[in-house]
Structure 1
Amino acid sequence: MSHEATLSEKYQSYRDGARFKDSAFLNEEEFRIALQLYIDDFEVANPLGTSRKKHKQTAIYWTLGNLHPKYRSSLHSIQLALLCKANNIKDQGYAKILHPLIQDLVFLEQQGIYVEQLGATVKGTVLFVAADNLAAHSLGGFFECFRVSQFCRFCMAKQEERQDKEVRTGLFQQRTKENHDKHVQEVSHDSTKAQQYGVKRSCPLTESLQHFHVVDGYPPDILHDLLEGIVPVELALCLKALLLKGTISLEALNDAIKKFPYTFADRVNQPQLIPKTFSSKSTIGGNGHENWTLLRLLPLLIGQHIPDGDETWVVLMTLKDVVELAMSTSFTVESLCFLDSKISDHRHLFQKVKSYDQSTTTLSITLSSFEPLVLYLMWTMRFEGKHKFFKKVVRHSHNFKNISLTLANRHQKMMAFHLAATTFFKPSIEIHKVKSVMVSSFPENVQNWLNQRNNQLNTVLVASSVIIDGIKYSSGMVISVGSCAGLPEFRQISQIVVINTDVAVVCRLMTSWYDEHLRVYDLCSNHLPIFSVTQLSDLNDVSSVTLQSSWQTACYTQTVHIMLRGDIEMDQRLMLRVVIDNDDIRKLTLNDRPDSIEELKTQLRDKLSLQYDFKLQYEDPDFSNALCNLTDITDLPARATLKVIPLVTLEFAYLSSPTEESDCSTVDAEILSPAESSPSLRKQWPEVFALPNFSVDVEYRLRQADLSFMKDRIPITPSRDMKHDILEKLAETMYSFKAYPNDDDFSSVAKSLTSKHPSLTEPGPQPGWYGWKNSIKFKMANYRTKLRKAGCDDVMINGGKRSKLNPDGESSRKNVKRPKRGEANYLPNLPDGHDERSLENARKIVIEEMKKKKTNATLVSQMMDQTFPLCRREIVTQEPAVKSLVERWPALFTETGKLLVRFGLPSPIKFPAVFAEFNCVASKNLEGDFYEALDQHTPRFIELFKSKKGTTGQKLTDLMQHINCLSPDVTALRSVVLRGLPILLGDDSSEVFKTCFDTAKEEALASVTVGVLTVVNEDARQQGLNAVHLQPISTAIILEGSTVMDNVRDFPQAVCLLFGLMYALHLDYPKCMANTLRFIQAVMLGLGSKTLPPKTA
């Protein structure tokens, strides 16, 4: 915060404006809090659905005007003051609804609050209220209808006068505090005068607060008044005139919009194509950001086709000047006068205006009274970004009971999370992709500058981009530094140099001249490039501009456009439309095409803040933009649509039983967080291994070593105790995922270690992490030995007593089934405080509960989690029959055994208990990995099916013909592949994949030992052994002649469950399907050896 007086002649903050200087309360020497309020309605339900307006909310946000804009622009700094249903405002009125808020504001004005850090009581008031015109007039007591005679809240202009008179500041009588208070008093006694004055009632804030008045407390809003008001309307009228003249065509304009090489921020705010109906609607539509981009880039799109002096074009360029001046981040008295004259010129040139156009006449007055509208968030665009959080909460909570309370609670919990974090705001400087570059590679004058500041080191750190106070600078951008002959000078960023904590840019000097017709600066670079070093503190403006050489044009910064003359080639960039959720679709631009899918996923995680594992699908242009799994990065087009498919990470959490009478909305209203994992449950190995936190001493020494390594590139040799601490912590963390990691797992841990702490990189011809990999292997073996001596069943059962020193010892696997599928027997210890007797009692409770008509799902889930080690011990050591397991552990074979949480997603989803069992045994997400691999291999399988000849080919051809009779959805494709896979691999699936009519179900059940039984109607459209039925009567899973699960969702799900049960229960694969099930195990799920054994006959 800052409360020192500002002596600058510029209007850069609210302290420079008349509103602050004329306020005796705010202008005192004591520090005062200046609150900025925002009021708006937003829809939480589908705006096109039947519930529209039913749950519509009215929100009032506040933020501190004393904060610097770089902090105030953060959504976390915008607080919630009040939230209610919009209908309550209409029924009760603003005075009653705002009463609690007004009471707090009155207390702040009169009594103040004690701030412990300052050691003083601080008072404050409302500086202004940001709102769109409708909300501002409604809360301020003005007419919400803008067709009344005196419709303006700033002046007393009438509708007929506005059409006839020149629009210039001072021509209309301004509303003042005195005449407004008089009008309110007269209207309160005689309501017929409301139309005459344009006032219906007093403002509740003005009535209660001593230092806030409605006349100067509601500034105009650039977003609604200009970017979504005047701009789309005047663009439509002017473009219509240009089309009628034949200067341009709509097709040519849309083609230019579509093909224009947008860069940096413009890629996010790329304008939409102009609809053919824009003329009849008298507006081009679009949101504020898109309209702003279109207006700024319009000269570069069609300016070369417009003749000089065209009146319609001059109107557009004058409008562009007005908007750019209004969007500036600082003003002077001269620039305000210039804005006033531009508004007047625009009025003369453009006679047909809408009612919104009156708002432009108030801009110069408001700007001098307050501050730059954009810089100090007096417009509503940033505040509207706050609505997204509440809409997301509603979408994921599925709760509309007292929705306002739910939203308020969730918001305060979110704010508590951010306030408890170590840093509330982002750091002032963020540096990306730093690499070391030889100083000798720079030009001589740059070398001299670097040597003076870099302590004569041979290398210097160069970053690909840097973000300073939220503004990103990267190679290729243009910055404005100084001026020459009245024109600003421009320099193109070549490299970004980081020296300690200072950032400087190596720039290529460029000359410029101004093109009045296009409103751009023409740049020219010398044939022999001249470079110089520029400090970012020397910039004319903190914003940057970007070049577009392929069009011989460049983008803008505020009021600057640039045209580039030269041969600078554009980098190959990737433009992505990323579909995260039905209501969350984002646009993303990558400066460089990733080399692999994993690199692409890493960039998506960083840029989109995705905290969960996922796979990617893309719209394939070869198949009419149908979604296909992305398996090769080269398949991705330069402009592509990606869909993020979350993969489930299984951990257990519990919700109230649906049979209980408790209100479920209470559960839904809470923020769902992953439950702490039970000691008996093992997590899935992460795609990117996250290092644990070492001891405080080790972390401090590593941090110091990493800083030293960045300077001199000399790695450290860790001491014995330091290395022991690192390896011990790594082994402990790895064991939480796997007791027996494979070679790739060890490599990923070692790479993560040296990547986070480069000072630990080991020199030599081998990779810098190779030595650590071996050390971790030995440490993991020692760690398992310690656990074995401590009596840990999980490692005791897999480690033997027989050794070279004790050759007559008992075999490690005596009386234990050999895990022939390549996985070690997973046998967790019994829970603390329990023995086999107590767990047996818990098992009996589960059996009794499962017999009830209304099962308590919470109790069953808790008991199953508690008794998991006992169940696992029976399976591993006794190999019981399936029928016995069904009798003793019935909950294991239900579809609602446990409630699992998708990490990173807010919605809990119930899964069959076998998925949880499989995850515990193999540390694999059975359903997610199974379907991902199946979809990945489906195109290749279809090709193989079509290419096969002979008897196998005839069977596959018959199978492929079935799909022509079905809708080509993903379930049909999966079913065809799973039925064709045994044929391709030489298996006989007739005994495992059975189909019968509903009248012969009992006979069919008796004939199946292990497999999937699909029951269909006798009038089913498809017949035959390999017929694909998408809507059967039922689908059952049979093991050892017993039906263990029935009414499974579909055939692919049944195959997935069948494999999971056989694997988790240690059942032998049927010989007739051994090749297929081994393929699923080794190739699709990556379990055991990746080399398949020879096919069995």
Structure 2
Amino acid sequence: MTEHPSLLFSNMNTIQDKEDEPFVEQENSDEDELEKFEDIRPSKNNIPWPLSTGLINEEDDIEQFTVNSLEKHYVRFLLDLREGHLLPQSIIKSITNYFTAMLNILFKIIHHQATQSSNSLLIPLADIEKLILQIKTSMRNIIKNEYQFSKRCEEHFEYVAPCEIKINDQGDCGYYVPIERSIKNLLNKADVITYLIDNLNDNIVQTKKDLDLMLTYRDDGIGITNPIGPKKDEHKLTLYYFVIEDLPDVVRSMLQSIGLVGICCTKYLSLETNPIKYFESMINDLNHLQTTGLSVQSFNGQLHFVFSILTGDNLATHKIGGFQRNFNSGQFCHLCHISYEFRLTPLTDISFLPRRVTTHNMYVQQAVKSFNTKPVAGVVGESPLPHLIGFHPIKSLPNDLMHDFAEGICPLIILGMLKEASVKRLMIYDQIEQKMNTFNYGMNDQSNKPPKIRAEHLTNSRIIGSASQKLCLFKLIPIIFDDVIDQLTNTLDIYTCLHEIISYTYSTKFRKSWLPYLDSLTTRFQSLM
């Protein structure tokens, strides 16, 4: 490794005090660590997604460092703290205060060493003090307020603030993040466009030579108050995300591959006209991507996109599709014409027609003519996305596996099996709790290890944990309770059938020839239930 010249002293061979010796050892160890760091190369499974993959990016090595350069790297550091680690502004201000205090200490160390040296200085101490003062002033200005921080982000990282969208005359508004800029930022990251093109070429036969990049949207609702408090449903936000489907699995599954598109207070979107106003900008940008395309620095050519699907839970799906939002009457399914009164009839004895585009359009017209006063075959009106190219409520709103399986039917089957074990006196709740809490999860399941399930959870018929944790528990039930699983005669067949269904629906590659067998499995599962 090349030796870096000193910025402070003309001769570094001066005799150091004993108290300075640890600094020399630390400098050598830092050089060793830097050599190890430079040997690390990003692999296909180790993609440099963060804003700064190292202390200094490769493109920064060729620039002349100034106070403005330091400000840029400090803003990047604060961005990582705020957006990556979710630290509040008060803590970030405290960190800045400590940094400025350390700069004061740094100057005192330089001053002490300069007075101990008999050699002439390359840089006068007054100039060093002036430089450090300038740096401290710049660091304090960054965190002075939100406007100053956003201004630095725009200057150094081309940050674009979300667009405010007024949805009524009362001043209620939502926010939209321009999707074109988000996609550009994503595709300009290191190696992303390479992975995207390679994956698209690998699947070119399966996609029937369709070179358009598919965009998937997701609708999700979150609560911003105490989930067990009295106002848990009073303040809710609706968020919209996007992901590029053509990214390889190792990239698409990363949190950084999911982009935020919009955020709005849920109650503002409850009125019929508000969603149409809110989605207008989003629809215009999506249509522009599908008709004109997008150019990015990392690719020589024009990238074209196509809208694929919009996913969400059943309530969000019905809201976007213009279907009824209650599931205890009428034709409550957005995929078929099943009626609530026949929901418990085995599918071996009855069948329901799937919804069609032509008949759905007719139902929409009838609902609009009746001023949306009552549902027509489960349809209450037009979707707020009627002008989005490629979207139709019948084709673009599939069921969500996470809600339907991981958070829906899987916990119910788990509870049914554990309660059967208790009813048959194979185990009491305390023994079930002890057995589950002492189970040793394997290396591949550690990230999705379910939280401790206590006896009161079973009493209250409630399985806690995230969707991935519940799915992990569902798959491991036969192993955890291997000594009693064969005696659960009432629920074992149901579990086995559902386990096989999940193995098909969660598979990364799905063959068309599997559909008839999957259909027979779902019919059998519904009949067993």
TM range (shorter): 0.5 to 0.7
- Identity fraction in percent: 26
Paired position in structure 1 for 2:288: 107
What is residue 305 of structure 2 aligned with on the other side?
A: 124
| Counterpart check, 1:231 vs 2:420 | no
In structure 2, the partner of 1:1042 is: none
After superposition, the Cα gap between the structure-2 partners of 1:280 and 1:172, relative to the gap in structure 1 and judged at 3 Å, is farther
Contact between 1:125 and 1:212, CA under 8 Å: does it hold in 2?
no
**CA separation of 1:154 and 1:210: change in aligned 2, threshold 3 A:** same
Q: How far off is 1:289 after superposition?
A: 2.2
Q: Which residue of 1 aligns with 2:364?
A: 184
Root-mean-square deviation (CA, aligned residues, Å) is: 2.9
Equivalent residue, structure 1, for 2:255? 75
Query: How much does 1:180 deviate?
Result: 1.2
Amino acid corresponding to residue 266 of structure 2 in structure 1: A
Residues 407 and 470 in structure 2, CA contact (< 8 A), matched pair in contact too? yes
Q: Which moved more, 1:137-146 or 1:50-59?
A: 50-59
Kept in 1, the 8 Å contact 2:326–2:332? The answer is yes
- Give the count of matched residue pairs: 331
Alignment-derived partner of residue 156 in structure 1 = 337
- Call closer, same or farther: CA 1:303–1:105 in 2, change over 3 Å: same
SS in 2 for 1:163: coil
Whichever residue aligns with residue 292 of structure 1, its letter is: L
Q: Which has the larger radius of gyration?
A: 1
Distance 1:165 1:50 in 2: 40
Could you tell me which residue of structure 2 aligns to residue 325 of structure 1? 504
1:50–1:232 CA distance, 2 compared to 1 (3 A): closer
Partner Cα separation in structure 1 for residue 371 and residue 417 of structure 2: 42
CA deviations over 1:84-132 (Å, ceiling 9, x no partner): 2223222563111111111111222333334565554443231011211
Query: What is the CA-CA distance between 1:212 and the residue it aligns to?
Result: 1.7
Matched, 1:204 2:387: no
Kindly indicate whether the alpha-carbon contact (under 8 Å) linking 2:225 and 2:235 is maintained by their aligned counterparts in 1: yes
8 Å CA contact 1:148–1:195 kept in 2: the answer is no
CA deviation map 1:285-327 (0-9, x unaligned): 4332222122111111223224468232222222222223322
Provide the rounded CA distance (Å) in 1 between the counterparts of 2:356 and 2:222.
32
Q: CA deviation at 1:155?
A: 0.7
| Equivalent-residue separation in structure 2 for 1:165 and 1:30 (angstroms) | 40
Report what 1:367 is aligned to.
Answer: none
Q: Taking CA–CA contacts closer than 8 Å with sequence separation of 6 or more, which of the two structures ends up with the larger relative contact order?
A: 2
Distance 1:238 1:50 in 2: 33
The answer to whether 1:244 aligns with 2:423 is yes
Q: Are positions 1:94 and 2:275 aligned together? A: yes
CA distance in 1, matches of 2:258, 2:321: 22
Match in the other structure for 1:222: 401
Q: Indicate how the Cα distance of structure 1 residues 173 and 256 shifts in structure 2: closer, same or farther if over 3 A, else same.
A: same
The more displaced of 232-241 and 292-301 is 232-241
In structure 2, distance between residues paired with 1:107 and 1:222: 30
Q: 8 Å contact 1:315–1:346 — kept in the other structure? A: yes
Instruction: Tell me what 1:314 maps to.
Output: 493
In structure 2, relative to structure 1, the CA distance for the partners of 1:55 and 1:134 (3 Å cut) is: same
How far apart are residue 63 of structure 1 and its match? Answer: 1.8
1:722 corresponding residue in structure 2: none
CA contact (8 A) 2:216 2:244 kept: yes
Write the deviation string for residues 261-295 of structure 1: whole angstroms up to 9, x where unpaired. Answer: 11214233333444445566444343322221221
Q: Distance between the aligned counterparts of 1:83 and 1:150, measured in 2?
A: 30
Q: 1:253 to 1:106 in 2, by over 3 A?
A: same
Q: Partner letter of residue 479 of structure 2?
A: L
Relative to 1, partners in 2 of residues 1:48 and 1:162: Cα closer, same or farther, differing over 3 Å? closer
Partner of 1:336: 515
Pick from 153, 171, 174 the counterpart of residue 351 of structure 2: 171
Alpha-carbon distance, 1:219 to partner: 1.6
Quick one: distance in 2 between partners of 1:229 and 1:67?
28
Asked if 1 retains the 8 angstrom alpha-carbon contact of 2:420 and 2:488, the reply is no
**For each residue in 1:49-100, what CA deviation from the matched residue of structure 2 results, as whole angstroms up to 9, or x when unmatched?**
5775565322211121221121122222222211222232225631111111
Quickly say closer, same or farther: Cα 1:285–1:144, change in 2 above 3 A: farther
Residue in structure 1 matched with residue 265 of structure 2 by the alignment: 85
Matched, 1:31 2:219: no
Which residue type is aligned with residue 57 of structure 1?
A: L
Q: In structure 2, what residue type is equivalent to 1:129?
A: L
For the structure 1 residues 280 and 45, does the alpha-carbon distance in structure 2 shift closer, same or farther, using more than 3 Å as the test? closer
Change (3 A) 1:306 1:263: closer
- Greater fraction of residues in helix: 2
Residue type at the aligned position of 1:65: E
Q: Go from structure 1 to structure 2 and tell me whether the alpha carbon gap of 1:349 and 1:58 turns closer, same or farther (over 3 Å shift).
A: closer
Cα deviation for residue 37 of structure 1 reads 0.9
Partner of residue 144, structure 1 = 325
8 Å contact kept, 2:421–2:488: no
Q: Secondary structure of the residue that 2:510 maps to in structure 1? A: coil
- Report if the CA contact (8 A) 2:367-2:375 is conserved: no
Indicate conservation of the 8 Å contact 2:450/2:473, yes or no: yes
Tell me if structure 1 keeps the 8 A contact 2:450–2:469.
yes
Q: Which residue of 2 aligns with 1:56?
A: 236
| 2:466 match | 287
- Note if contact 1:247-1:306 (Cα within 8 Å) is conserved in structure 2: no
Give the direction of change, closer, same or farther, for the CA distance of 1:116–1:259 in structure 2 (3 Å limit): closer
Question: Using a 3 Å threshold, how does the CA distance of structure 1 residues 291 and 48 change in structure 2: closer, same or farther?
Answer: closer
Residue matched to 2:222: 42
Structure 1 residue 5, shift from structure 2 partner: 7.9
More strand by share: 1
Measured in 1, the distance between the counterparts of 2:284 and 2:233 equals 29
| Contact 1:236/1:278, CA 8 A, preserved across alignment | no
Q: Distance in 1 between matches of 2:436 and 2:527?
A: 30
Residue from 259, 264, 285 that aligns with 2:438: 259
Query: What is the distance in 2 between the residues matched to 1:189 and 1:127?
Result: 30
Native 8 Å contact 1:61 1:81 kept in 2 = yes
Taking the aligned partners of 1:174 and 1:336, their CA distance within structure 2 comes to: 16
| Equivalent runs, 1:736-751 vs 2, <5 Å | none
Conserved? CA contact 2:411–2:474, under 8 Å: no
CA 1:275–1:308 in structure 2 vs 1: closer, same or farther (change >3 Å)? closer
Listed one character per residue, the Cα deviations across residues 183-217 of structure 1 (whole Å, up to 9, x for unaligned) are 11111112578434111121122x10232211121
Contact 1:167 1:343 (8 Å CA) reproduced: no
Paired with 1:58 and 1:113, the residues of 2 have a C-alpha distance of 27
TM-score, normalization by structure 1? 0.28
TM-superposed deviation, 1:341: 2.3
Output the CA distance in 2 between the equivalents of 1:76 and 1:7: 25
Structure 1 pair 204/242, CA: closer, same or farther in 2 (3 Å)? same
* TM superposition shift of 1:164: 1.2
Report if aligned partners of 1:236, 1:284 keep a CA contact under 8 Å in 2: yes
Deviations 1:735-754 (A, max 9, x none): xxxxxxxxxxxxxxxxxxxx
CA distance in structure 2 between the aligned counterparts of 1:189 and 1:61, rounded to whole angstroms:
33
1:237–1:279 Cα contact (<8 Å) kept: no
Q: Distance in 1 between matches of 2:391 and 2:339?
A: 26
Q: Following the alignment from structure 1 to structure 2, what is the Cα–Cα distance between the partners of residues 105 and 150?
A: 32
Q: Deviations over 1:833-889 (max 9, x none)?
A: xxxxxxxxxxxxxxxxxxxxxxxxxxxxxxxxxxxxxxxxxxxxxxxxxxxxxxxxx
Amino acid at match of 1:81: V
Q: Identify unmatched segments of 5+ residues in structure 1.
A: 9-14, 17-26, 351-1097
Tell me the SS of whatever aligns to 1:284.
coil
Contact 2:294–2:303 (8 Å) recurs in 1:
yes
Residue 330 of structure 1 deviates from its aligned partner by: 1.8
